[in-house]
Amino acid sequence: MVYKLVGPDRVVVADGVDQFVSQNRCKWDINNIPINRRHTMRTSLRTRAATCQTVSEIARQLGIEWDIDANKEIPGGRFTVLIEPNASTAVELGLKIVEQDQRSADDIKAIDQLICLPAPKANTINFEVLFDKATSDADRDSWRGFDEDDRRIYPLREGQLRAIRYDSCRGMEGWTTLCLGLDTFYDRRIESPDIDEVYLVTSLKASKEKYSDAEIAEKLKLARKESAFNWLMIPLTRSIDHLVVHLLHENSELGKILKLVSDKYPGQIEWIRPGAFPDAEQRGEA
């Protein structure tokens, strides 16, 4: 339809294949329409260099190809891991970090920040309720992107702090991005991958005359890993300056990955553990 409306020679397609998670996608390559030029963009245009470098190293630790390079023209950036088993406390501390960052940057408003959180499931922590309570107690305005009514309108006020579920955060960005309970989201994606296992098995059988149960198991294992990886990288690439990752469990799968990166590059990740939350003066922001 787009090609017919404006002509294929006037169309530029920005296809974000690096974070492709859906099973359905548009097929832009049509046999009877020539492609003038393909161009792969490898340099990050959003995230500051230090934060981007840390995220890229996380990708390498996950063992799946990630071809985004840090942009030397936008230096700076920070990566913080907040360890807090008490979810209510974690939300309060996370919002304090976001507020401190807002105060330390002249042109940053509440609306420029982003909070990402897991969707509530049965017998799990409801971060949405905790976010509502924390903002209400602090008398803070918010745009609740996880709520159906709020999602129907754009944020309208500078003082609104935006909050969105991980499943819906692709395409959004924040000067500081706070990822609440990211380890639980990652674990859930590993346990319940967004893949069509029947299609994968069928395609393997169709591509080879002989195949083994081990080959099928390995293909499914890789597909599950890729699916969880792609979902994880979406919230990890929402930040412009400061990325704050909250873990409920330090020894979770994601926690172990972050430790490997931290050990390999000392000082690249700031760790905040229970009882050690720095105030503005300790962070050099007084």
**Lowest mean pLDDT across 58-62, 130-134, 282-286:** 282-286
pLDDT band at 144 (very low <50, low <70, confident <90, very high): very high
**pLDDT, position 24:** 64
Mean pLDDT over all residues of the chain? 87
Structural domains of the chain, ranges and CATH numbers in brackets? 49-191+223-272 (3.40.50.300)
Provide the percentage of residues in the chain whose pLDDT is more than 90. 56
pTM: predicted TM-score of the whole model, two decimal places: 0.83
What are the pLDDT digits (tens) for 253-266?
999 999 999 999 99
Asked which of 6-20, 48-62, 101-115, 255-269 is least confident by mean pLDDT, the reply is: 6-20
SS (H, E, C) the chain: CHHHHHCHHHCCCCCCHHHCCCCCCCCCCCCCCCCCCCCCCCECCCCCHHHHHHHHHHHHHHCCCCCCECCCCCCCCEEEEEECCCHHHHHHHHHHHHHHHHHHCCCCCHHHCEEEECCCCCCCCCHHHHHHHHHHHCCCCEEECCCHHHHCCCCCCCCCEEEEEHHHCCCCCEEEEEECCHHHHHHHHHHCCCCCHHHHHHHHHHHCCCCCHHHHHHHHHHHHHHHHHHHHHHHHCCEEEEEEEEECCCCCHHHHHHHHHHHHCCCCCEEECCCCCCCCCCCCCC
Residue, of 28 and 189, whose pLDDT is higher: 189
pLDDT of the residue at 216? 77
Residue 138 has pLDDT above 70, yes or no: yes
Give the pLDDT of residue 279. 55
Return the higher-pLDDT residue of 27 and 166: 166
Q: Give residue-wise pLDDT tens across range 87-135.
A: 999 999 999 999 999 999 989 999 999 999 999 986 789 999 999 999 9
> Tell me: the pLDDT tens digits for 18-28?
555 455 667 77
